[in-house]
Amino acid sequence: MRIQQLPPAVANQIAAGEVIERPASIVKELLENALDAQADSVSIDIGYGGLTQVKISDNGSGIVEEDLPLAIAAHATSKISQLNDLYSIASMGFRGEALASIASVSRLAISSKPAGQQHATMLSTEGGERINLRPCARSQGTTIDVRDIFFNAPVRKRFLKSERSEFQAIELVVKRFALSAPQIAIQLTHNGKQQLSLPSATCDKSKLARIRKLLGKTFIEQSCYLDVEHAGLHLSGWISTEDYQRSQNDKLWIYVNNRMVKDKLLNHAIKQAYESLLHPGRHPACLLYLTINPVEVDVNVHPTKHEVRFQQPRLVHDFISSQLQKALQPPVLQPQYEMPTESKVLKLSEPYTPPPLQTRNLSIPRTELKSWIVLNPSFALLFLQEQPYIVDVIAIQQNWLLDFLNTESLPLACRPLLVPVSFPIKSSRAEAISSYYQALALVGIELDLVGENTLIIRSLPRAVPHLDLKLFLTRVFELEQPATAELLVLLTGCQLFNTQLLSQEEAGVLIDYIQSSANDKFKNWCKHLSTEACRGVLNA
């Protein structure tokens, strides 16, 4: 046989074999088109598992009348225009193959109306051949109605599974899309019955509600949240703890620039992070969002766009694996000990004015300041010029921390919590407490109200690593419109200190602080002991 050019109909069916494997493939391609059209609402109507009908309507930007015939032409697209565009793709679609492939194996109708066009237009095709182009009535957006998939390819149709199996595949595609585009409201019906209804999710609370509905309450309860950034890579999402193990590797939901991918490199990075935590044959569950410069990733690897190729695969792999390992490390338990008594806590009985840092030295040479002997979590014995002093280390630490916080610029640097902390409140106080948000954000504490009686704390000030959060919030909410200075005092009063945990370097810092402080402060912190009293303390 001589070499010949294939007819367009044959070429399109070959292309359709790569892009359109089953009805779920059609749903995926059309949902991505809706996302690219900046729709914020999508309805999906499925007939008999997609074997008889797949109908998707959106309220996106629409297609102008003159472009409708081009929409089903092979390699016709509005997403790219030149070769270089392939190396910085930000849209979901770009190949110009999806609609042409769908049209070639179905009976297709597209109705669309862009903003500014007086009427909508409908294009009807059969097996890729145009039948009709006529005006119609509809609001802004696009509806694509696909019927009788593979009606002209009976061999391929025989490979389709049962109605139930095909709909399950469609439902999975819709859920994956819903997690990549939370801002889009989604309605899914099958044979006229509603199967899924998701309102638009634009805030953290509603996004979490969508994740909980799609992946289950158990996944959220047995997962930890991470949000990290390094070298132009941003990774966020939920990863299951070692208590949540699965027999199948079917819950690794990974998005690269909001595109759902199945990538061996990323799967291996996740597996490596969990290898010491899971039993043999068990698998984790993850919902991860990786954001990377589009120039650094090639999505033009396969027609389905499930596979990607990274310019720096080792960097991506090691970043994901290391960050997951850090997030999965068990938290370091902080020692429990009594809070300082009220006499040792800075009070708010009078309006507070931050004192200037004192620089006048004590008349004691630094070389004669010796390290202290720890007596208990609050007090230590310090020898100055060979004279013993009992030192209130808690008071010194509180004052040092307060002086430090007053020298820091606002807002204070914060550290996001891997697992946000919940704090119950009375529903009657919810509205009043909302007025505290801005003031707390200035001191590094970010929180949200979930429901009517729960606060979610998402970050804490980096300079106050061992904050008794319950005590702090309880005291804050007892105040009316607290000033920043008052909050700083409360932070120092609610920080958990323990002299027995101080390193030699930290002890040296506090000794330097004593030396640089005024004599009146020194008298408040340090009490001179007689020789007999000192012996009694040491022998106790």
Q: Where are the domains of the chain?
A: 8-198, 216-328, 343-527
Number of separate helices (H) and strands (E) present in the chain: 18, 22
Burial (CB < 10 A; 0-12, 13-18, 19+), residue 243, is: exposed
pLDDT (tens digit per residue) in 116-168: 898 999 999 998 888 899 999 999 999 999 999 999 888 888 889 999 999 99
Residue in this structure with the two tokens 């179905």, named with its chain if needed: 106
pLDDT (tens digit per residue) in 431-487: 777 777 888 888 888 888 777 778 888 888 888 888 888 888 888 888 777 788 888
405 by DSSP, 3-state: which?
Answer: helix
Q: How far apart are CA 218 and CA 222, in angstroms?
A: 6
For all residues of the chain together, what is the average pLDDT? 78
For the chain, what percentages of helix, strand and coil (3-state, to nearest 5) are there?
A: 40, 25, 35
Give yes or no for a contact between 405 and 524, defined as CB atoms under 8 angstroms apart: no
pLDDT for 345 equals: 31
CATH topology of domain 216-328: Ribosomal Protein S5; domain 2 (3.30.230)
Cβ atoms within 10 A of the Cβ of 229, count? 12
0.75 surpassed by pTM: no
| CATH, domain 8-198, list 3.30.70.1350, 3.90.226.10, 3.30.565.10, 3.30.110.40 | 3.30.565.10
Closest by CA position to 201, among listed 192, 191, 211 = 211
Cβ atoms within 10 A of the Cβ of 302, count? 12
More confidently predicted of 219 and 44: 44
pLDDT (tens digit per residue) in 288-331: 999 998 888 887 666 565 678 888 989 999 999 999 988 887 64
- Band of pLDDT at residue 340, cut at 50, 70 and 90: very low
β-strands 252-256, 286-291: how paired? Answer: parallel
Q: How far apart are CA 73 and CA 529, in angstroms?
A: 93
Residue in this structure with the two tokens 């996302």, named with its chain if needed: 35
Q: How far apart are CA 225 and CA 324, in angstroms?
A: 10
419 by DSSP, 3-state: which?
Answer: strand
pLDDT for 475 equals: 85
Give yes or no for a contact between 142 and 57, defined as CB atoms under 8 angstroms apart: yes
DSSP string, 352-386: --PPPPP-PPPSS-GGGBPPPEE-SSSEEEEEETT
Q: How far apart are CA 96 and CA 75, in angstroms?
A: 4
In this model, does residue 87 exceed pLDDT 70?
A: no
Residue in this structure with the two tokens 């408040």, named with its chain if needed: 524
In the β-sheet with 141-147, what is the strand arrangement from edge to edge? 129-136, 120-126, 107-113, 141-147, 53-58, 41-47, 185-190, 193-198
- Band of pLDDT at residue 200, cut at 50, 70 and 90: very high
pLDDT for 251 equals: 87
Residues contacting 445, CB < 8 A, separation 6+: 414, 457, 459, 460, 461
First to last CA, the chain: 105
CATH topology of domain 343-527: Ribosomal Protein S8; Chain: A, domain 1 (3.30.1370)
Give yes or no for a contact between 463 and 415, defined as CB atoms under 8 angstroms apart: no
β-strands 297-298, 309-310: how paired? Answer: antiparallel
